Structure 1
Amino acid sequence: MALSSTLDRIHAQVTHNRWLRYFTVFVRLALAAGFLPSGYVKIAGERFTSLSVNHPMGNYLEALHHTGYYYTFIGIAQMTAAVLLLIPRTVLLGALLYFPIILNICILSLAVRFEGSLVTSPLMVLADLYLLCWHYDRLKFILVPTPVADAAAHKPVLSNRFPIGFLGGVFATMVLVVLTVTTIYDLMPRNTLGDCQRQCPDSSNPAACEQFCDCIHTQGKPLSHCLDAYNKANALVGQAR
Structure 2
Amino acid sequence: MLMKIKENILAQLFVIYTRYLVGSGFVFASIVKIKGERFTTVSHEDAPFGTAFHFFETMYQTGIYWQFLGWGQLVAGLLLMTQRFAKLGAVVFFPIILNVFVITISMEFAFTPVITFLMLMANLLLLLWHWDELKILLNLTPTLPDANRLENKKIWEITGWILFLMTAGYRAINTLYNPILWMGMLVLVGLVPLVIVWVKGKKYLRF
* Aligned counterpart, 1:60: 55
* Aligned counterpart, 2:120: 125
2:64 to 57, 64, 69: 69
- TM-score (normalised: structure 1): 0.55
Flag the 1:57–1:22 CA change in 2: closer, same or farther, 3 A.
same
CA distance in 2, matches of 1:158, 1:88: 13
* Aligned counterpart, 1:32: 23
- The answer (yes or no) to whether the contact 2:36–2:67 under 8 Å persists in 1 is yes
Structure 1: gaps spanning 5 or more residues: 1-9, 160-241
CA distance in 2, matches of 1:128, 1:142: 17
Read off the aligned partner of 1:61 and give its amino acid letter: F
Cα RMSD, aligned residues only: 2.4
% identity of equivalent residues: 33
Flag the 1:110–1:45 CA change in 2: closer, same or farther, 3 A.
same
CA distance in 2, matches of 1:34, 1:144: 32
CA distance in 1, matches of 2:126, 2:38: 30
TM superposition shift of 1:40: 0.1
Flag the 1:142–1:63 CA change in 2: closer, same or farther, 3 A.
same
1:202-226, Cα deviation, whole Å (9 max, x unpaired) = xxxxxxxxxxxxxxxxxxxxxxxxx
TM superposition shift of 1:81: 0.6
Aligned ranges for residues 70-89 of structure 1 at < 5 Å? 70-89=65-84
1:90-135, Cα deviation, whole Å (9 max, x unpaired) = 1011111111111111001001031142110011000001011110
- The answer (yes or no) to whether the contact 1:106–1:118 under 8 Å persists in 2 is yes
- The answer (yes or no) to whether the contact 1:32–1:81 under 8 Å persists in 2 is yes
* Aligned counterpart, 1:105: 100
* Aligned counterpart, 1:140: 135
Structure 1 runs of 4+ with >2 Å offset: 49-55, 143-146
Flag the 1:65–1:158 CA change in 2: closer, same or farther, 3 A.
closer
Flag the 1:70–1:15 CA change in 2: closer, same or farther, 3 A.
same
Matched, 1:114 2:117: no
TM superposition shift of 1:152: 7.3
TM superposition shift of 1:51: 8.0
* Aligned counterpart, 2:172: none
* Aligned counterpart, 1:11: 2
* Aligned counterpart, 2:170: none
Read off the aligned partner of 2:4 and give its amino acid letter: Q
Structure 2: gaps spanning 5 or more residues: 151-207
* Aligned counterpart, 1:164: none
Q: SS where residue 133 of structure 1 aligns? A: helix
CA distance in 2, matches of 1:99, 1:24: 16
- The answer (yes or no) to whether the contact 1:51–1:57 under 8 Å persists in 2 is no
CA distance in 1, matches of 2:122, 2:43: 27
CA distance in 2, matches of 1:31, 1:97: 13
> How many residue pairs are counted as aligned between the two chains?
145
Q: SS where residue 119 of structure 1 aligns? A: helix
